[in-house]
Amino acid sequence: MDAELTNLVYYVPPHVDGYVYPNEQNLLWSTLIVVYPYITGLVAGAFIMASLVRVFKVKALEPVYRLSMLTSLAFLLCAPLPLLFHLGHPERCLQIMMTPHLSSPMAMFGFVYAWYMMAVLLLELWFDYRRDFVAWSANVRGLRGILYRILTLGVHDVSEQALRLDDRMGKIISLVGIPSAFLLHGYVGFIFGSIKANPWWGNVLMPIIFIFSAIVSGISLCVLMYLLLNWARRQAQDINCLDAMGKFLFYALVVDASLEALDWIHRLYAAEESIHILKSLAAGRLFYTLLVGQVCLGTAVPLVILGGLQLFSRHVVPQVRQHLYTLSAALILFGVLAMRWNVVIGGQLFSKSLRGFTTYKMELAGHEGWLMSIALLVLPFIILGVLVKLFLPQKSPVTRTETGAAVSQAA
Amino acid sequence: MIGKGYTRRKSLVALAGAAAGFLVMAPARKARAAVQKLFTSTGAPKGYDPTQHKWLMAINIERCIGCGLCVEACKKENHVPPQPTYFRTWIERYIIKKPRPGQAAVQGETVVDSPNGGAGGFPPCEIPREEILKAFYVPKLCNLCEHSPCTQSCPVGATFDTPDGAVLVDPKYCIGCGFCIQACPYGCRYFNPYTRTADKCSLCYHRITRGLRPACVEVCPAEARLFGDLKNMGPDDPIAKLVRTNKLHTLKPHLGTEPRVLYAGLDKEVR
Amino acid sequence: MNERKLPPQLIRLVILTVAILGLYGLARFFLTPPSFGELGFYRALALEEATLRSPVFAGQKACDECHSDTIKKVAKAEHKTVSCESCHGPGRAHVENPELKWGRSFAFDATVWTRHVRHG
């Protein structure tokens, strides 16, 4: 799919070592397919973190609850874009919802996405924000006021009973949302895990590894967004909140690292036919992205830092702890992107004949190139900026009271 | 509008009604139309009934001489893009070297190549003749799997198994996601840059429905490719003879795709 | 069943849900292609459309219609398994218009000789 137009004018074959099937010389799934699981992973991970507040009642994470939900939404809105740009016929994209082939995991996309967007994320946000929408629609003028009025859906009841119902609905939706988030990202892992033709992809652990690396990346993103937001607003960082996030991040990372290690240990132990080419792949074509990027920088270093912080947090000054959290979160985010790269691109770099490698000719411009991927990764942050401006007004940390109703401390 | 009478029961009924309505409005044309309704347009072969045939291709490795005529004929017949990365069928050359002196093995390294898919024949190999233990050519194509992973993985139903044994792509419906191309274990699918859909060996469907043989079978000078109809196979059929006189193999049987393309004389080095 | 009034939030949401599901059902009804699902999970017309391309190679039988004596002569010698079009190239154009010049100068070129060398 890459460089198809230039290929038609003058074909330059990629560098091939060994033997690859002739049709496999050029990679089909490009950086866009690396970006898509990354984005949905962030969506699922940010939501899981937010649901820790609702479902598991982790009080320390309350300051970051709304930010996590908005982050999840911002990334969810951008999630279909890489897929759309990657399709050979994007104008036929609706077919996936009109005639979904039930034996194909990819056919789930439209429904899982629609369900998660409408029945989980937007619904939970609505129930959480409803009281504020009613308040803001009364006070704010202009376009924003109209927006808030629309968002109330015409319901202005903010009695105690209504607010209790809101809270209960939010809890139920959060509970339903956790498996939905798993499904949203897990089905992508299953798409890869179901391809028995490719030994790098087709194994049972793939969906689980995807889910846990998603959780890890989502929490890291929330850490960074929280730090960024407070820094931009010159507000004090809530170190308890950061410590709590760091704790969950550490434990999630331990599980994620164990799963990925298990995958490798099993492969090396069972040593099936494909082990030789996969070892060459990991040590050769994927050396920098896998061994350096994903394993060392993305997993081992954050594990050490976060583990150390769990053990020695009393001895570390909050300032330094903050910087260490920033560093770990950034490294993890980079490491998870490297993981997606290693799975998607790595799986196509070696031949299904198990006899050779090809190379990935990545375009710079063009609808599947570098610049497009960077643009798609930057866009959600722009959307998040707009959402924060609209829905996270300055000086209004939201806390939940004993009864569970949201109490805004804004004027 | 809101207020009076919107009880819990009424809302549940309304929701159930909507769900039922939506399910009914799903493709309602479930009636299996008779196949005779097809093949009625002016260009289509009249009188062809897909349910009366089950096509099969068999390859005799002993006979393939690696001339590459099949690859070129396929490209001409099916207007396959000419670049050397789009092939509906291709030939692989396997050169198995002798073991190194002192190496306790029956055979040495295996070198596989497929320059331009084998179209135009193979250039002389660089390995000196004295080092070669044996060499052979393996034509590859769509394996016509009984449980094809490609049709299983298509999210929209654009690639399908025909009633008569071919596996086709519907170029008007394919969205170009590439999932089927990744799912094929034999590497027989490619992404056509002109139509921007998946593409593959169609068993020359436009020829076999008119009583012709696929182009690759037509031009093979060595009778390495055999084409037959499982539903109309007499004892004199070349495939029947091949099956009687050879041990048969299929490619990658451990994947459970149950490929129907039979190979006679396949070596263990072929994947 | 409980006859208590539904809270207003939920009423609005139920209306929205019904509307969205209804829209989806309508879209599905109108946007599914006509012959879909008749023979299997695909557009049944695609089967016919796959047959509409015209063959490029004519096939040995077509050559036999006019040149049966040549074919009988070839069938006695080493080239008996070689079809006419293997060396002479696709013959459809000639079958449709027999006046078209066909033969050594048309499609029989040096590459044919290289086949004999290269298959060693």
Q: How far apart are CA B254 and CA A387, in angstroms?
A: 52
pLDDT at residue B240 tops 60: yes
Kindly report the average pLDDT of chain A as a whole number: 91
pLDDT of residue B21: 59
Residue closest to C45 by CA, chosen among B118, A60, B37 = B37
Question: Does A27 contact B at CB distance below 8 Å?
Answer: no
pLDDT at residue A127 tops 60: yes
pLDDT band at C100 (very low <50, low <70, confident <90, very high): confident
Arithmetic mean of pLDDT, B194-208: 95
pLDDT at residue A1 tops 70: no
Distance from CA of A212 to the nearest CA of B (A): 24
pLDDT of residue B1: 41
3-class SS of residue B139 = strand
pLDDT of residue B37: 66
Could you tell me where the beta strands, DSSP code E, fall in B146-270? 159-161, 167-169, 190-192, 197-199, 225-229, 248-249, 262-264
**Closest Cα in chain A to B189:** A23
pLDDT of residue A36: 96
DSSP summary character for residue A52: H
Q: Which residue has the higher pLDDT, B33 or B137?
A: B137
pLDDT band at B11 (very low <50, low <70, confident <90, very high): low
Interchain proximity B209–C51, CB inside 8 Å: yes
Q: Are residues C72 and C38 in the same domain?
A: no
Which of C12, C32, C41 is the closest to A154 by Cβ? C12
Count CA within 13 A, CB hemisphere, residue A332.
Answer: 35
Q: Are residues C66 and C108 in the same domain?
A: yes
- C100 within domain boundaries: yes
Q: Are residues C21 and C67 in the same domain?
A: no
Q: Which residue blocks in A79-157 are alpha helix, DSSP H?
A: 80-86, 95-98, 108-114, 123-139, 142-151
pLDDT of residue B43: 72
Q: What are the residues facing B197 on neighbouring strands? A: B192
Interchain proximity C56–B215, CB inside 8 Å: yes
Q: Are residues C44 and C64 in the same domain?
A: no
Phi first, then psi, for residue B63 (nearest 5°) are -95, -20
What are the residues whose beta carbons fall under 8 Å from the beta carbon of C54, sequence distance 6 or more? B43, B206, C92
- Indicate the range of B9-18, C59-68, C104-113 predicted with least confidence: C104-113
Instruction: Give the best residue of B1, B8, B151, B208 to mutate against chain C (max C CB count within 10 A).
Output: B8
pLDDT of residue C115: 60
User: Taking CB atoms and an 8 Å cutoff, what residues of chain A touch B92?
Assistant: 19
What residue numbers bound the domain in which C32 lies? 8-49
For chain A, domain boundaries = 17-393
Interchain proximity A22–B152, CB inside 8 Å: no
- C2 within domain boundaries: no
Arithmetic mean of pLDDT, B226-255: 94
pLDDT band at C67 (very low <50, low <70, confident <90, very high): confident
**Closest Cα in chain C to B12:** C14
Q: Tokens 């995807």 identify what position?
A: A210
Do A117 and A76 form a contact (C-beta atoms < 8 A)?
A: yes
Q: Are residues C42 and C76 in the same domain?
A: no
pLDDT at residue A331 tops 90: yes
pLDDT band at B117 (very low <50, low <70, confident <90, very high): very high
- Indicate the range of A130-134, A216-220, C102-106 predicted with least confidence: C102-106
Q: Are residues C65 and C110 in the same domain?
A: yes
User: Considering the domain A17-393 in this protein, what is its CATH number?
Assistant: 1.20.1630.10
The number of C-beta contacts closer than 8 angstroms across A and C is 40
pLDDT of residue C96: 82
Question: Does B1 contact C at CB distance below 8 Å?
Answer: no
**Closest Cα in chain B to C79:** B221
Which of A11, A95, A194 is the closest to B156 by Cβ? A95
Interchain proximity C12–A153, CB inside 8 Å: yes
Q: Are residues C42 and C19 in the same domain?
A: yes
- Number of domains, chain C: 2
| pLDDT single digits (tens) B32-47 | 344 556 777 767 788 8
Question: Does C4 contact A at CB distance below 8 Å?
Answer: no
Distance from CA of A190 to the nearest CA of B (A): 12
Which of C12, C24, C31 is the closest to A155 by Cβ? C12
R_g over Cα of chain A: 23
| pLDDT single digits (tens) B141-171 | 999 999 999 999 999 999 999 999 999 999 9
Q: Are residues C65 and C114 in the same domain?
A: yes
Question: Does A142 contact B at CB distance below 8 Å?
Answer: no
- C65 within domain boundaries: yes
Instruction: Give the best residue of A9, A16, A21, A92 to mutate against chain B (max B CB count within 10 A).
Output: A21
pLDDT of residue A404: 44
ipTM (interface pTM) = 0.90
Question: Does A6 contact B at CB distance below 8 Å?
Answer: no
Q: Are residues C45 and C65 in the same domain?
A: no
Do A364 and A370 form a contact (C-beta atoms < 8 A)?
A: yes
Question: Does B192 contact C at CB distance below 8 Å?
Answer: no
Count CA within 13 A, CB hemisphere, residue B181.
Answer: 30
pLDDT at residue A52 tops 70: yes
pLDDT of residue B91: 97
User: Taking CB atoms and an 8 Å cutoff, what residues of chain A touch B177?
Assistant: 83, 86-88, 106
pLDDT band at B7 (very low <50, low <70, confident <90, very high): low
Kindly report the average pLDDT of chain B as a whole number: 88
- C74 within domain boundaries: yes
User: Taking CB atoms and an 8 Å cutoff, what residues of chain B touch A24?
Assistant: 187
User: Taking CB atoms and an 8 Å cutoff, what residues of chain C touch B122?
Assistant: 118
Q: What are the residues facing B136 on neighbouring strands? A: B94
Question: Does B122 contact A at CB distance below 8 Å?
Answer: no
Question: Does A22 contact B at CB distance below 8 Å?
Answer: yes
pLDDT band at B6 (very low <50, low <70, confident <90, very high): low
pLDDT of residue C5: 75
pLDDT at residue A410 tops 60: no
Question: Does A101 contact C at CB distance below 8 Å?
Answer: yes
Question: Does C66 contact B at CB distance below 8 Å?
Answer: no
pLDDT of residue A405: 47
| pLDDT single digits (tens) A262-294 | 999 999 999 999 999 999 999 999 999 999 999
Instruction: Let me know the angle formed at the C-alpha of C70 by C65 and C71, rounded to the nearest 5 degrees.
Output: 70
Give the percent of chain A with pLDDT over 70: 94
pLDDT of residue C37: 87
pLDDT of residue B47: 83
Which chains pack against C, by 3+ Cβ pairs within 8 A?
A, B
pLDDT band at C107 (very low <50, low <70, confident <90, very high): very low
Q: Are residues C44 and C66 in the same domain?
A: no
Q: Are residues C38 and C68 in the same domain?
A: no
pLDDT at residue B176 tops 90: yes
- C54 within domain boundaries: no
3-class SS of residue B229 = strand
Do B76 and C56 form a contact (C-beta atoms < 8 A)?
A: yes
Q: How far apart are CA A328 and CA A334, in angstroms?
A: 10
pLDDT band at A341 (very low <50, low <70, confident <90, very high): very high
Order the strands of the B132-140 sheet from edge to edge.
B110-113, B90-97, B132-140
pLDDT of residue B92: 97
Instruction: Let me know the angle formed at the C-alpha of A372 by A368 and A377, rounded to the nearest 5 degrees.
Output: 125
Q: Are residues C72 and C28 in the same domain?
A: no
| pLDDT single digits (tens) A80-105 | 999 999 999 999 999 999 999 999 99
- C66 within domain boundaries: yes
